[in-house]
């Protein structure tokens, strides 16, 4: 589809849904935001939301803008993309040493600052995205009053304000069966987050609040026995449980080897295979027609388990990982993301998960970022193509979300 045809199609969709093409929109009023149906995941497109960026020295000291220095420096930066900070509160920004072509310096933002999370959820609402799965890393759970909880509270407030939904998604990174009671930790944390989970904006499905656990079959420090205990306890506590699992989960299910995760997968209410990095543009159609349409869909149908499909725009993490290839998974002017959105819509899973909204570390973000011709001149970064707007991937997501909602009607 040509860019002109795409924009005409997108504008037509938005004219039917009453949404605006503007970025950011200063004219939309709160009464213009119709609330999504928070009682079901059906037919919705959600984004993964890290929310982990900070100013140097904030919270635990890990700004996520850098890997091995307190502040971002030339040669020491942890992201491959640069945010377009148009519309961000000025007090939430800080200068970096990265020189822009116009002589100014690039600015980064902090999620733990009033207005940033609100702006991000407004972007979601303006582009027909249903909301966000908020990443909660196991290693940060004990920060009961830290910035991570502040971001969760800001997301709750913003989701309620803009009629979006949200879900807590636990990431098993940092968990280990041998050193901690993972099940008890999750249950205790959800109890501590009761004000957040009880929000009218918190998503439900089949009459139950939704929670996702990401990393089974990926994070090796958590055993299958622990997985069984975790899923069983959460379901007994009344939660609808989504499992984010390794992309070859079906083969593991068929092999059914002792100590592996087949029994865990069978307990899930929904399976969400993590496909980031599993294919490139040339290999996607085979993956779609074989793995997703036949193997995964058939297994889930036999098990009576719901499905979620992950889509992602491309990837690059060379600044954070010196051994990684720059632009390892090219975006191909949006066509890579578009074909995945089209493929996911054709399979009609329960919902589509776009990885990620703000993951600039691995360049899977769809939030507005600088174009190639806007990038700093003294550090290598990846930009969106010069013939695209900074918010081009939000618009692609909006188009996909509208098509997916129509497929569910």
8 Å CB contact between 409 and 132: no
Runs of H (alpha helix) within 330-381: 335-347
Give the chain's residues under pLDDT 50.
1-22, 24-26
CA atoms within 13 A on the CB side of 153: 13
CB burial of residue 66 (10 Å; 0-12, 13-18, 19+): buried
Closest to 182 (Cα-Cα) out of 149, 214, 222, 212:
222
Query: For the chain, what's the residue count?
Result: 409
Distance CA 157, CA 380 (A): 36
| Residue 332 to residue 12: CA distance in whole angstroms | 24
For the record, the structure tokens of 34 come out as: 């119709």
Residues whose CB falls within 8 Å of the CB of residue 286, separated by 6 or more in sequence, listed in order: 279
Rounded to 5°, the CA angle 22-24-26 comes to 90
Q: How far apart are CA 89 and CA 320, in angstroms?
A: 27
d(C-alpha 247, C-alpha 274), whole Å = 5
Evaluate whether 388 touches 371 at the Cβ level (below 8 Å): yes
pTM given for the model: 0.92
Closest residue by Cα to residue 204 from 231, 241, 232: 241
C-alpha torsion 305→355→202→345, nearest 10: -50
Distance of CA 138 to the CA centre of its chain: 17
Asked if residues 244 and 274 have their Cβ atoms less than 8 Å apart, the reply is yes
Q: How far apart are CA 9 and CA 232, in angstroms?
A: 45
Please report the pLDDT score of residue 330 as a whole number. Answer: 98
User: Could you tell me which residues come within 8 angstroms of residue 216 by beta carbon, excluding any fewer than 6 positions away?
Assistant: 172, 222, 227, 243, 244, 245, 246, 261, 264, 265
């Amino acid at each position: 589809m040509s860019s002109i045809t795409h924009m005409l199609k997108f504008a037509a969709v938005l004219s039917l849904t009453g949404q605006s093409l503007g970025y950011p929109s200063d004219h939309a009023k709160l009464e213009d935001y119709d609330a999504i149906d928070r009682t079901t995941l059906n037919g919705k497109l959600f984004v993964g939301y890290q929310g982990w960026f900070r100013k140097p020295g904030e919270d635990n000291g890990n700004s996520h803008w850098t890997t091995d220095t307190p502040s971002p420096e030339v040669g020491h930066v942890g992201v491959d993309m640069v945010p377009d900070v148009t519309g961000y509160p000025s007090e939430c920004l800080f200068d970096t040493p990265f020189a822009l072509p116009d002589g100014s310096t690039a600015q980064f933002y902090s999620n733990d600052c009033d207005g940033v999370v609100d702006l991000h959820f407004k972007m979601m609402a303006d582009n027909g995205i249903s909301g966000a799965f908020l990443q909660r890393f196991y290693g940060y759970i004990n920060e009961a009053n830290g910035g991570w909880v502040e971001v969760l509270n800001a997301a709750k407030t913003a989701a309620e304000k803009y009629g979006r939904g949200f879900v807590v998604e636990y990431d098993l990174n940092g968990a280990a069966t041998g050193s901690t009671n993972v099940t008890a930790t999750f249950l205790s944390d959800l109890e501590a987050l009761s004000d957040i989970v009880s929000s009218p904006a918190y998503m439900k499905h089949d009459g139950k609040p939704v929670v996702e656990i990401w990393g089974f079959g990926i994070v090796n420090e958590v055993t299958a026995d622990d997985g069984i205990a975790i899923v069983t306890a959460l379901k007994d506590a009344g939660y609808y449980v989504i499992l984010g699992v390794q992309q070859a989960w079906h083969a593991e299910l068929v092999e059914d080897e002792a100590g592996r995760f087949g029994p865990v997968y069978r307990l899930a209410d929904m399976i969400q295979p993590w496909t980031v990095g599993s294919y490139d543009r040339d290999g996607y159609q085979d993956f779609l027609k074989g793995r997703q349409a036949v193997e995964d869909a058939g297994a889930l149908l036999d098990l009576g388990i719901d499905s979620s499909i992950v889509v992602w725009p491309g990837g690059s993490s060379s600044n954070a990982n010196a051994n990684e290839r720059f632009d390892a998974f090219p975006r191909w002017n949006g066509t890579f993301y578009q074909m995945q959105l089209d493929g996911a819509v054709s399979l009609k899973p329960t919902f589509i998960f776009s990885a990620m909204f703000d993951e600039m570390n691995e360049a899977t973000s769809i939030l507005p970022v600088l174009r190639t011709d806007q990038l700093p001149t003294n550090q290598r970064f990846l930009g969106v193509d010069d013939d695209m707007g900074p918010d081009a991937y939000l618009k692609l997501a909006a188009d996909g979300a509208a098509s997916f909602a129509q497929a569910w009607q």
